[in-house]
């Protein structure tokens, strides 16, 4: 059955959607190609992305032959702002005004019969004046907004397009001063002095992090960070398509809305052709607007299509099934004359997207076992524990944030470590179409913040009007993606008011908060509201739907019995599970570490002192106290004046970060079937924007820290945890299973007790176990004193738990009863490395190099860390091992190395550096 719904009228026919035959697919693709080849039959779009020039205000600096996307920093110096002390030394760039110029030709004779000539700017960063042939077209003030100008009256054969961009630093200051003159202060005015940042980032609708953050540099960007296009059409152009999928007992239904732009202020008529090559035998003609006009004020065509359930393949998050995507294509013909089309009305606008069939619910029901509500996601009617990380912009310069190789590398890395959700954080950008397409194809669900973070914001009429455009344009662009799970209007702004972060106790700030987020952002998101989509979250963290009872500003937005929480505490031992909350959903938490010394060397200037640069780039208000106390609890960190201090600090910081994040994540995963009903853990943060102390798991150059290597195990669909409970001095052993089905035959757990002085376990206890599909089996509570007794003490031994079937290990974890500073009988493991296999294959423009490495040891090696030395191989940008930072408790182990390079690379044992904790201890 096919159902069409247009303007609330439902039309029923006897047609059933069936897949195309191969011949029909080929025929349709041929017709698509023919249509695109024929300019007379489609809207003409000319991209003005080449031959731009740039000059500063007094014309002392000029750059030519610029290709969009572009920014002033990158046009002048590429990515050098990320090197040495250039975040400060290049700040003068942001204090000047800059003008982009483009000269282009137009055949006005050919275009004479085209009614509208439209100039569309997809992304201007940020406060700018746009002029064509010296006529002012308009002013931009929001980098997230698409601006369009009808330019027929200004267009000539030879044209000069100028985009004059004002210094964002001075533009922000000017707006803040204007508000202060009216008696309004909008905090925070300036960041912490440690940020080396700029003030009043909340005055502008631009990437908030570009003025600095606690993990990132200040690079107040300016530029044309997306394409510029000339569009020639007569009536209307398709901008976006929204598709919401849902099902009844017999059919999957697509509710489709096609959003259009029209330059004229006149209602129009249209005919839409819909192609779904894998679902419909023939194209579907939506003809209700052939006679009934479409309003130019809100130009949208709505219809509904249904398909039998057994003809549809579901889309699943990573780890639960495949990611089947269905291509959809739309062609619009539009005209003004109610008598019908003319020859020139054959000009058509086209749009292609892909969708997936899945349902997503956010379940907030009363908790039976205690107080509060659940906060969990159901996908395709199944409760799914959301595990993953937070994503900051791929680059601090927005023109580089759309780089496909970087996006693919980061999202593939998330998939490879079993992540099924990432949170696009609210201080960055709305990501590129490619980003969401990659998330769709990899099964990475997106918690999408709107771009407001850690600040109060002005609620002037002009600011709110700009926000409305921003929200609706971006939501309409991305809402159809199956990866989009939920929208949240801001990051940490409710808790900032509740806890008075910025001195905002006045009632005025609560009123303005509600005006911005409830009356504006949520109101605009209602345009995408659908019965099968979760309602937007007003903030993160928040108490979820419970916050409505508090008029969206709760006294404690971090209540663990509701919604989501953010948790950070650097003053306690992060390896101890007892310090953590027991929330419904942890959407932000983490620990800092340092990137590798090799990574630091790539950004270090010839005259730079590394210790000074690290200190400069440590933006945490407490400086290195954010890292060193936790390190010193567990490791023999040398003194700062010792020659090996920085090497040890980098290495130990990565282990500390990995172990603390592992502990916290495992705790949250283990709580899912308890009264706490924890159903989400998204650690902070996946990626970095430069080389600096930060919470990232992957450094700026794409190399994995130990956290990312470890996450492949602690986020695995089958895992074993042994978490210490200090109150009863016992280990809680739990078996976690995210799979919907699990074979429990032959499952057993082995508890292996090792001595630090000997390879292989000295004592093994094994018992049969079972597992719970899509749940947790709470197996044993083992007193620590029952493990470490007799010849085994807290200082000479450690324990390993292995979940296995038929002697095949499925998961493992370790428990260390004492700090590594105090353990006894440690020896030099005398590790040797052998290259056992080499393989090199050709891919597009690169060679994929693969190595198998065998490590041999004579004694237990603590957290074996292996690095590929890149100094002699500059062609290698990043690499990955199959594991890293691992405990070596047998005489040999094999791991694999992969990297891309222009050629097949020949490595030898001297190209690797190996570190262990052993080498820093008194042997």
Q: How far apart are CA 320 and CA 444, in angstroms?
A: 11
Can you name the residues that pair with 600 across neighbouring β-strands? none
Tokens encoding 790: 């007799």
Q: How far apart are CA 730 and CA 599, in angstroms?
A: 40
Q: How far apart are CA 726 and CA 770, in angstroms?
A: 26
Tokens encoding 844: 């597009």
Tokens encoding 336: 């003004």
- Is there a catalytic annotation at residue 492? yes
Can you name the residues that pair with 595 across neighbouring β-strands? none
DSSP states of 449-516 as a string?
E-S-BSS-----HHHHHHHHHHHHHHHHHHTT-TTEEEEES-BSHHHHHHTTTTS--SHHHHHHHHHH
Tokens encoding 714: 């602690």
CA quadruple 524, 529, 533, 534: dihedral sign: positive
Q: How far apart are CA 53 and CA 163, in angstroms?
A: 10
**Cβ(390)–Cβ(588) under 8 Å?**
yes
Tokens encoding 69: 């996307």
E strand or H helix that includes residue 39: none
Nearest residue to 435 (alpha-carbon basis) of 391, 382, 468, 396 = 391
Q: Is 796 left (phi over 0), alpha (psi -120 to 50) or beta?
A: alpha
Q: Which of 198, 399, 431, 492 does the annotation list as catalytic?
A: 492
Lookup result for tokens 């000479």 = 796
Cα angle: 841, vertex 842, 843; to 5 degrees: 120
- Is there a catalytic annotation at residue 433? no
Cα angle: 551, vertex 552, 554; to 5 degrees: 95
Q: How far apart are CA 807 and CA 268, in angstroms?
A: 71
What angle, 0 to 180 degrees and rounded to 10, lies between the N-to-C axes of helices 461-478 and 507-516?
40
Strand order in the sheet with 808-815: 763-768, 747-755, 797-805, 808-815
**Cβ(1)–Cβ(306) under 8 Å?**
yes
- The set of residues, in sequence order, having a beta carbon less than 8 Å from that of 786 and lying 6+ positions away, is none
CB atoms within 10 A of CB 343: 7
- The set of residues, in sequence order, having a beta carbon less than 8 Å from that of 282 and lying 6+ positions away, is none
Helices (H), 695-776: 706-714
Nearest residue to 665 (alpha-carbon basis) of 734, 726, 739 = 734
**Cβ(332)–Cβ(270) under 8 Å?**
yes
Tokens encoding 103: 């000269």
Q: How far apart are CA 467 and CA 470, in angstroms?
A: 5
Lookup result for tokens 């004359």 = 337
What angle, 0 to 180 degrees and rounded to 10, lies between the N-to-C axes of helices 645-670 and 706-714?
20
HEC secondary structure over 288-350: HHHCCCECCCCCEEEEEEEEEHHHCCEECCCCCCCECCEEEEEEEEEECCCCCCCHHHHCEEE
What angle, 0 to 180 degrees and rounded to 10, lies between the N-to-C axes of helices 461-478 and 433-442?
40
Q: Which of 588, 664, 666, 900 does the annotation list as catalytic?
A: 588
| Pairing outcome for strands 284-286 and 269-275 | antiparallel
Long-range contacts of 21-28 (CB under 8 A, 24+ apart): 24/277, 24/281, 25/277, 25/278, 28/275, 28/277, 28/283
DSSP states of 162-192 as a string?
EEEE--HHHHHHHHHHHHHHTT---S--S--
Active site residues: 492, 588
């Amino acid at each position: 059955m096919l159902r069409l719904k247009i303007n609330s009228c439902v039309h029923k026919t006897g047609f059933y959607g069936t897949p195309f035959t191969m011949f029909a697919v080929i025929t349709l693709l041929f017709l698509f190609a023919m249509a695109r080849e024929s300019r007379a039959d489609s809207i003409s779009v000319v991209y003005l992305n080449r031959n731009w020039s740039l000059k500063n205000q007094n014309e002392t600096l000029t750059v030519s032959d610029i290709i969009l996307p572009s920014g002033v920093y990158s046009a002048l110096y590429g990515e050098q702002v990320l090197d040495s002390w250039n975040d400060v030394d290049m700040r003068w760039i942001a204090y000047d005004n800059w003008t982009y110029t483009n000269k282009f030709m137009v055949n006005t004779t050919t275009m004479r019969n085209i009614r509208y000539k439209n100039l569309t700017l997809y992304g201007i960063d940020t406060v700018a004046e746009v002029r064509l042939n010296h006529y002012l077209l308009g002013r931009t003030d929001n980098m997230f907004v698409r601006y369009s100008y009808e330019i027929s009256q200004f267009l000539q054969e030879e044209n000069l397009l100028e985009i004059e961009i004002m210094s964002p630093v001075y533009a922000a200051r000017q707006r803040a001063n204007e508000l202060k003159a009216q008696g309004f202060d909008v905090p925070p005015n300036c960041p912490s002095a440690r940020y080396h940042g700029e003030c009043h980032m909340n005055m502008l609708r631009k990437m908030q992090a570009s003025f600095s953050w606690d993990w990132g540099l200040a690079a107040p960007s300016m530029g044309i960070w997306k394409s510029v296009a000339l569009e020639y059409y007569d009536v209307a152009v398709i901008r976006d398509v929204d598709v919401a999928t849902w099902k009844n007992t017999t059919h999957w239904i697509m509710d489709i809305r096609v959003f259009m732009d029209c330059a004229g202020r006149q209602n129009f008529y249209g005919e839409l052709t819909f192609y779904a090559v894998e679902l419909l035998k023939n194209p579907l003609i939506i003809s209700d607007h052939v006679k009934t006009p479409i309003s130019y004020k809100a130009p949208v065509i709505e219809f509904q299509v249904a398909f039998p359930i057994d003809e549809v393949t579901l889309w699943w998050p990573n780890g639960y099934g495949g990611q089947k995507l269905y291509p959809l294509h739309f062609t619009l013909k539009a005209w003004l004359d109610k008598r019908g089309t003319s020859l020139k009305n054959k000009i058509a606008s086209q749009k292609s997207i892909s969708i997936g069939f899945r349902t997503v619910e956010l379940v907030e029901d009363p908790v039976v076992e205690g107080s509060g509500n659940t906060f969990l996601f159901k996908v395709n009617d199944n409760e799914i524990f959301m595990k993953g990380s937070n994503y900051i912009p791929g680059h601090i310069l927005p023109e580089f944030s759309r780089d496909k190789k970087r996006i693919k590398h980061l999202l593939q890395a998330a998939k490879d470590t079993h992540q099924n959700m990432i949170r696009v954080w609210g201080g960055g950008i709305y990501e590129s179409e490619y980003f969401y397409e990659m998330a769709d194809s990899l099964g990475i669900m997106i918690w999408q913040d709107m771009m407001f973070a850690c600040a109060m914001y002005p609620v002037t009429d002009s600011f709110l009007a700009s926000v409305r455009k921003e929200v609706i344009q971006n939501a309409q662009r991305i809402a159809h993606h199956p990866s989009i799970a939920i929208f949240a209007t801001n990051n940490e702004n409710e808790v900032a008011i509740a806890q008075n972060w910025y001195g905002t106790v006045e009632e005025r700030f609560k009123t303005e908060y509600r005006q911005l987020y409830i009356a504006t952002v949520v109101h605009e998101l209602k345009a995408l509201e659908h019965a099968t989509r979760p309602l937007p979250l007003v903030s993160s963290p928040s108490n979820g739907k419970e916050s409505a009872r508090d008029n969206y500003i709760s006294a404690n937005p971090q209540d663990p019995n509701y919604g989501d929480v953010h948790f950070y505490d650097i003053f306690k031992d992060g390896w101890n599970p007892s310090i953590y909350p027991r929330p419904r959903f942890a959407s932000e938490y983490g620990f800092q570490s340092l990137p590798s010394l090799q990574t630091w060397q790539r950004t270090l200037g010839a005259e730079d002192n590394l210790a000074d640069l690290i200190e400069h780039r440590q933006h945490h208000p407490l400086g290195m106290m954010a890292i060193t106390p936790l390190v010193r609890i567990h490791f023999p960190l040398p003194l700062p004046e010792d020659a090996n201090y920085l090497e040890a600090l980098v290495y130990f910081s990565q282990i500390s970060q990995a172990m603390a994040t592992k502990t916290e994540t495992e705790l949250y995963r283990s709580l899912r079937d308890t009264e706490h009903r924890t159903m989400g853990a998204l650690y902070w943060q996946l990626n970095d924007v430069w080389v600096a102390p930060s919470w990232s798991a992957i450094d700026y150059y794409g190399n994995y820290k130990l956290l990312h290597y470890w996450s492949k195990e602690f986020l695995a669909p089958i895992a074993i945890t042994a978490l210490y409970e200090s109150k009863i001095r016992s280990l809680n052993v739990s078996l976690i299973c995210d799979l919907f089905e699990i074979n429990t035959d032959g499952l057993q757990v082995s508890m292996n007790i090792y001595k630090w002085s000997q390879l292989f376990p000295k004592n093994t206890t094994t018992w049969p176990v079972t597992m719970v599909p899509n749940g947790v089996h709470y197996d044993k509570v083992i007193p620590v004193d029952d493990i470490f007794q007799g010849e085994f003490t807290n200082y000479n031994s450690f324990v390993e738990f292995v979940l296995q079937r038929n002697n095949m290990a499925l998961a493992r974890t370790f428990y260390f009863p004492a700090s590594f500073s105090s353990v006894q009988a440690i020896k030099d493991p005398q590790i040797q490395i052998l290259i056992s296999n080499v393989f090199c294959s050709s891919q597009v423009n690169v060679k994929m190099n693969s190595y198998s490495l065998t490590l041999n040891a004579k004694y237990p090696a603590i957290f074996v860390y292996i690095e590929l030395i890149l100094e002699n191989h500059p062609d290698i940008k990043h690499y990955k091992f199959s594991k890293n930072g691992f405990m070596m408790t047998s005489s040999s182990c094999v791991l694999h190395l992969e990297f891309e390079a222009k050629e097949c690379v020949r490595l030898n044992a001297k190209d690797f550096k190996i570190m262990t904790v052993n080498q820093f201890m008194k042997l």
